[in-house]
Amino acid sequence: MADGSPIVFFNLLKQAGRVQQDSERVYFEIEGPISFSAPEDNVDVVIVPSNELKVTFMIDYKHPYLGTQYTWLPSIRAYEKEFAGARTFCFIKEILQLKQMGLIKGGSLENALVIAEPDISDADLKHLQDVFGYHKEVTVSSEGILNSHPLRYHNEFVRHKVADLLGDIALLGMPIKGHILAARSGHKTNVELVKKLRQIQKKQELQMIYQKTKSKEVVFDINAIMRIIPHRYPFLLVDRILEFVPGESIVGMKNVTINEPFFQGHFPGHPIMPGVLIIEGMAQAGGIMLLNQLEDPQNYVAYFASIDNVKFRKPVMPGDTLRYELSVISLKRSLAKMHGDTYVNGEKGCRRGLHGNDYKEECMSKIHPTAIIKEGAVIGNNCVIGPYCVIGEHVVLGDDNVLHNNVILDGHSTIGMVTRFFPLLYWVPILKT
């Protein structure tokens, strides 16, 4: 345990010396602001671009001997002199609990700064002496430190937090170029921050492999996509990847033109993109996510396994732009389960339907306040639903439909587009047996 600071290990590494390497050092460069918050722990961390590693740190303990402390590391060159000697610290209640649990067997008042409570009694100090098996009396300094250890820096506690952060960030596996601004962060939240940085790092690594032309607006262009998935014209249905968080989410885009081969027969004079191809486009974007879990994705093919709860909300025509948004539900080496939405020119076109009266506020249709839309019904865009209309729970109503007053649609009904329902109509499909 040494003295509770990193300086002992730092000196051992210095004694071992350094060896010049042939390859150039690779840095994790922060391209834009990255934020991380853990509200339950009152932690906030922001990393902004910088030409070298810098750290600004603040701690804020509701304790009279600690309170608020602030420090900053202007350069890694200042670490040895200004931070490596900062010792770990804890509160007296914490070490008693850990000792009772059979932990901190190597811990003592000599390898950590133990902070006392302001009202600690002589009996408490005697109990602590017995717990640790000390022969000498345990004392408290004017700074609230047990055994009167003098502080090495006026703000030694927050400086040790910087040392903790640098050690945890080293788990990333490469040095960082960025300015880290942290408030009240500890090992737990530091590790979560590293996980988030690792996702960004994975994306950068994949871009270095597949994306030959660097662009801030595109993660993978069409050439990179064709290096990852085997699909080719006329069945390559994603043009670029706009956003990518490995293992979590992916956003793709498809520009739909009149030159698409399926428009020749679907339908002549009224070109509509088949819904199954919208689903296929989402699947291809999801396949990019899945295949990037593998070291050599070009040697594999992703297959569709199943699909459920699909709703088509808006027809896709030549000139439209599709935006596929997929989020991971579960992801294994050979199987991915995702939730996806497709936006048509910014509006959701393929999605699970909203339910019940949610439509009155969220869909693009005009719905009279006296109309009743039962939970489960699906309403398309640009519909007009008049007074006292009732739409049943199993009804699917397409786009651009008009229902005059007192229209009732019920049963397992699917209504297409551009249909007009006149007043007092009662619609229930008759099933022949």
pLDDT of residue 349: 67
How much is the average pLDDT of 347-375? 61
Q: What is the mean pLDDT of the chain?
A: 87
At 359, is the pLDDT very low, low, confident or very high (cuts 50, 70, 90)?
Answer: very low
**Are β-strands 176-177 and 179-183 bridged in parallel, bridged antiparallel, or unpaired?**
unpaired
Say whether pLDDT at 276 is over 70. yes
- In 3-state terms, what secondary structure has residue 244? strand
266 is catalytic: yes
Question: Which tokens in the block code for residue 102?
Answer: 């059979």
Structural domains in the chain, CATH included, are 7-87+152-201 (3.30.1700.10), 211-350 (3.10.129.10), 356-427 (2.160.10.10)
Name the catalytic one among 135, 187, 394, 412.
187
Which whole number is the average pLDDT over 182-202?
Answer: 93
pLDDT tens per residue across span 103-118: 877 777 778 898 988 8
Residue 171 has pLDDT above 60, yes or no: yes
Q: Which amino acid is at 199?
A: Q
Residue 228's nearest CA partner among 208, 210, 249 is 210
Q: pLDDT at position 178, please?
A: 95
* pTM, 2 dp: 0.67
| Residue in the structure block whose two tokens are 């249905």 | 237
pLDDT at 433 over 50: no
Q: What angle do CA 172, 196, 248 make, to 5 degrees?
A: 125
Plot region of 209 (φ>0 → left; ψ -120 to 50 → alpha; else → beta): alpha
What pLDDT, on the 0 to 100 scale, is given for residue 290? 84
| 59 pLDDT more than 70 | yes
Provide the pLDDT for residue 350: 66
pLDDT tier at 335 (50, 70, 90 boundaries)?
confident
- Burial (CB < 10 A; 0-12, 13-18, 19+), residue 283, is buried
Q: pLDDT at position 190, please?
A: 95
User: Is 154 part of the annotated catalytic residue set?
Assistant: no
Question: For residue 203, what are its two tokens?
Answer: 């994306």
Nearest to residue 42, comparing CAs of 189, 195, 193, 192? 189
CA 186, distance to chain mean position in Å, is: 20
What pLDDT is recorded for position 167? 95
Catalytic residue among 127, 135, 154, 266: 266
The confidence score (pLDDT) of residue 250 equals 94
Q: What is the mean pLDDT of residues 181-204?
A: 93
Which tokens is 277 given? 């191809």
Burial 150-161 (b: 16+ CB within 10 A, else e): ebebebbbbbbb
pLDDT band at 179 (very low <50, low <70, confident <90, very high): very high
Tens of pLDDT, residue by residue over 278-334, are 999 999 999 898 887 777 777 788 888 888 888 888 889 999 999 999 999 888 777
Q: DSSP per residue over 373-408, as a string?
A: E-TT-EE-TT-EE-TT-EE-TT-EE-TT-EE-TT-E
Query: Can you read off the two tokens belonging to residue 33?
Result: 């602001």
